């Protein structure tokens, strides 16, 4: 029997070791030790971790790689970022947005990131970014799944044409309803926007993912409205609240009522630790708030929490590199959540959990799933997070899309080993 591809000697995220994974016609058709068959392509995992691909559940691909255009964010705040993006928007061209997005997707594939939910700003009557990212979505479809969210960056009600533009964007084929209630003029307008946007999602049978309470304001309560509307309209896990940073600053008594409401509603949460550890707390002196949402507390109640990247080299964040392990690593530190169980969870929060939130079909490492996987220079998921491990091979539908050489150092130290593999430092089980 001949397969298209066999990955030999994989360690799996669930702890199984020495597993061969065989693929045919884009799907995983066998997973067991020592498969006695040939394949057109053989990838030797040699005990390295083989995981399903990374998934970024929160990103802005229309702004990515625009750092410095037309100027840099001096205050480091969300609000200056939004103002700066407003300055850049009229200068955007279709070609430039497409080119930056395609370059970003090259980087994503190199990092084993094969599915991205990207918000796309609809507060530009030309809908230039929407057209550009719909074009990108088609062009990258052979190697990366791009899901788009119609995002009224300047406010669904606050921006004069956003209501019409959001509808136009959905009609053009944008997948998910977006919003930004904390940027509306008043708390009341914000709540009204959540209600209106949830009704659009319900009417159209779409998913909804709102930027929600991305501030240090302890009284920002839009996640409460989102959970309540999701319950009323039976949106359940089709609804997601992104950021939720005000929850960091909320009164504990109020949170003790809010969290069960979120759990009851089935709404998902997406935290974006890289960006929110830098954007939040900017109006504080000391102590400075970290502005990460209450990840551990939501998890404890069974809320699906994923970790997103949000920004890479744009008006809001000057760093980043399509590395979802970097995102998990920051979450572990910033939360902080350093138990072995929580670090292990952070790996799922950039793979399986966001795959479920996005509704990806055929995702996972099991017979019958898409033959999509990443070989990492690490022994297990915790080690992958610790090392932000190199992606040795990135495979999609049984084809190798990217290879990176192992990170290995030649040492010249008297009486010490001549070469060093950082993954060799894994704790002995
Ligand atoms: Zn965002």
Distance of CA 198 from the midpoint of ligand 1 (Å)? 18
- Phi and psi, residue 401, nearest 5°: -95, -25
Sign of the CA dihedral 237, 239, 240, 245?
negative
- Indicate if 32 belongs to the active site: no
What's the rounded Cα separation, in Å, for the pair 177 and 170? 8
What's the rounded Cα separation, in Å, for the pair 345 and 307? 11
The enclosing H or E element of 244 equals none
- Strand runs labelled E in 257-336: 268-271, 305-307
What's the rounded Cα separation, in Å, for the pair 379 and 365? 17
Contact 162, 191 (CB under 8 A): no
Q: Are strands 176-179 and 207-212 parallel, antiparallel or unpaired?
A: parallel
- Phi and psi, residue 52, nearest 5°: -65, 160
What's the rounded Cα separation, in Å, for the pair 47 and 19? 9
Contact 332, 295 (CB under 8 A): no
Active-site residue, from 145, 184, 214, 229? 214
Distance of CA 153 from the midpoint of ligand 1 (Å)? 9
- Phi and psi, residue 21, nearest 5°: -120, 120
What's the rounded Cα separation, in Å, for the pair 143 and 114? 7
Q: What is the pLDDT of residue 215?
A: 94
CA–CA distance from 421 to each of 407, 410, 411, 416 (Å)? 7, 9, 11, 13
Distance of CA 426 from the midpoint of ligand 1 (Å)? 35
Distance of CA 182 from the midpoint of ligand 1 (Å)? 12
Distance of CA 126 from the midpoint of ligand 1 (Å)? 21
Distance of CA 119 from the midpoint of ligand 1 (Å)? 7
- Phi and psi, residue 366, nearest 5°: -160, 155
Which of these, 253, 146, 271, 287, lies nearest to 214 by C-alpha position?
A: 271
Q: What is the pLDDT of residue 203?
A: 98
CA–CA distance from 164 to each of 86, 160, 194, 225, 255 (Å)? 19, 9, 16, 23, 35
Q: What is the pLDDT of residue 291?
A: 87
Contact 48, 379 (CB under 8 A): yes
The enclosing H or E element of 113 equals strand 113-121
Q: What is the pLDDT of residue 328?
A: 98
CA 426 to chain centre: 26
- Tens-binned pLDDT, residue by residue, of the chain (429 aa): 799 999 999 999 999 999 999 999 999 999 999 999 999 999 999 999 999 999 999 999 999 999 999 999 999 998 999 999 999 999 999 999 999 999 999 999 999 999 999 999 999 999 999 999 999 999 999 999 999 999 999 999 999 999 999 999 999 999 999 999 999 999 999 999 999 999 999 999 999 999 999 999 999 999 999 999 999 999 999 999 999 999 999 999 999 999 999 999 999 999 999 999 999 999 999 999 998 999 999 999 999 999 999 999 999 999 999 999 999 999 999 999 999 999 999 999 999 999 999 999 999 999 999 999 999 999 999 999 999 999 999 999 999 999 999 999 999 999 999 999 999 999 986
- Phi and psi, residue 29, nearest 5°: -115, -15
């Amino acid at each position: 029997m001949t397969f298209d591809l066999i990955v030999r000697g994989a360690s799996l995220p669930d702890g199984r070791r020495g597993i061969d994974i065989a693929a045919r016609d884009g799907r995983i058709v066998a997973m067991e030790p020592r498969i006695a068959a040939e394949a057109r392509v053989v990838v030797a995992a040699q005990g390295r971790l083989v995981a399903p691909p990374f998934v970024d559940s929160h990103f802005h691909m229309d702004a990515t790689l625009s750092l410095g255009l037309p100027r840099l964010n001096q205050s480091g705040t969300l609000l200056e970022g939004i103002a700066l993006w407003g300055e850049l928007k009229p200068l955007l061209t279709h070609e430039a947005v497409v080119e930056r997005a395609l370059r970003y997707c090259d980087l994503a594939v190199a990092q084993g990131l094969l599915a991205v939910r990207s918000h796309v700003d609809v507060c530009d009557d030309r809908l230039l970014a929407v057209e550009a990212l719909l074009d990108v979505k088609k062009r990258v479809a052979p190697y990366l799944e791009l899901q788009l969210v119609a995002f009224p960056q300047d406010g669904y009600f606050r921006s004069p044409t956003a209501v019409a533009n959001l509808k136009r964007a959905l009609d053009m084929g944008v997948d998910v309803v977006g919003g930004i209630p904390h940027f509306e003029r008043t708390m009341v307008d914000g709540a009204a926007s959540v209600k209106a946007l949830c009704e659009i999602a319900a009417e159209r049978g779409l998913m909804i993912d709102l930027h929600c309470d991305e501030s240090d304001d302890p009284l920002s309560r839009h996640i409460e409205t989102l959970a309540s509307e999701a319950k009323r309209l039976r949106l359940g896990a089709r609804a997601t609240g992104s950021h939720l940073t005000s929850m960091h600053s909320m009164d504990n008594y109020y949170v003790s009522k809010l969290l069960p409401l979120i759990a009851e509603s089935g709404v998902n949460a997406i935290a974006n630790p890289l960006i929110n550890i830098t954007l939040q707390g900017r109006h504080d002196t000391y102590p400075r708030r970290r502005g990460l949402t209450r990840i551990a507390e939501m998890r404890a109640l069974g809320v699906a929490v994923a970790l997103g990247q949000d920004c890479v080299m744009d008006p809001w964040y000057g760093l980043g590199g399509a590395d979802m392990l970097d995102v998990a690593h920051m979450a572990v530190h910033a939360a902080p959540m350093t138990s072995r169980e929580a670090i292990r969870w952070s790996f799922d929060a950039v793979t399986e959990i966001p795959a479920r939130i996005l509704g990806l079909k055929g995702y996972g490492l099991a017979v019958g799933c898409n033959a999509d996987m990443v070989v990492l220079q690490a022994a297990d998921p915790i080690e992958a997070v610790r090392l932000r491990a190199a992606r040795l091979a990135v495979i999609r539908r049984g084809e190798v899309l990217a290879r990176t050489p192992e990170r290995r150092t030649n040492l010249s130290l008297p009486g010490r080993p001549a070469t060093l593999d950082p993954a060799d430092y894994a704790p002995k089980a």
